[in-house]
Amino acid sequence: MTELLLKNCPLCGSKDVSFSHDGIEHYVQCDNCALTGAYGSDRDQCLEYWNDRPSPWIGTDKKLPPYGEPVLIVGNGAPQHVTYIRDGGDDCDDWFEPYHFEHDDNCKIPASDITHWQPIAGLEESV
Ligand SMILES: [Zn+2]
């Protein structure tokens, strides 16, 4: 039997991905964030679907979003379901804070806790 090598989760980057089966079809699931890949008739097929899935996330080790621009983030290993913006000051490290929401300083996430981010597609066009 050939070795089936699954790539890390494209959403959260976790290595905890495994094959699952719903009784009819196979699929790949991330055990960390519960993302599932496309369903396939066998393992080889869903492996292919999973590994070909492009990741929309940009690693903060590669590039940080511009200040003040709404983005989605992955913080503490899980995607955050709120839009955040990057902010910062001259005298402290950058942070991310929720956009559009009433918030206080407790909602801030240090930029060092953010592993990935992505721009919000279509935002500019939809104004
Ligand atoms: Zn995941």
My answer on whether 46 and 74 are in the same domain is no
Q: Which two tokens stand for residue 74?
A: 């992955």
Q: Would the pLDDT of 126 be above 50?
A: no
My answer on whether 9 and 69 are in the same domain is no
CA 16 / ligand 1 centre spacing (Å):
8
pLDDT at 1: 46
My answer on whether 32 and 67 are in the same domain is no
CA 18 / ligand 1 centre spacing (Å):
11
Mean pLDDT in residue range 67-89: 85
For residue 114, give the H/E element and its range.
strand 114-119
Tell me the C-alpha to C-alpha distance, in Å, between residue 15 and each of 6, 18, 31, 36, 45: 9, 9, 9, 14, 19
Domain that holds residue 16: 1-54
CA 120 / ligand 1 centre spacing (Å):
19
My answer on whether 111 and 66 are in the same domain is yes
Task: Judge if pTM exceeds 0.85.
Answer: no
pLDDT band at 57 (very low <50, low <70, confident <90, very high): confident
Which has more pLDDT, 74 or 76? Answer: 74
Mean pLDDT in residue range 97-118: 83
pLDDT band at 89 (very low <50, low <70, confident <90, very high): confident
Q: Which two tokens stand for residue 16?
A: 């905890």
My answer on whether 69 and 116 are in the same domain is yes
CA 19 / ligand 1 centre spacing (Å):
13
Which has more pLDDT, 59 or 4? Answer: 59
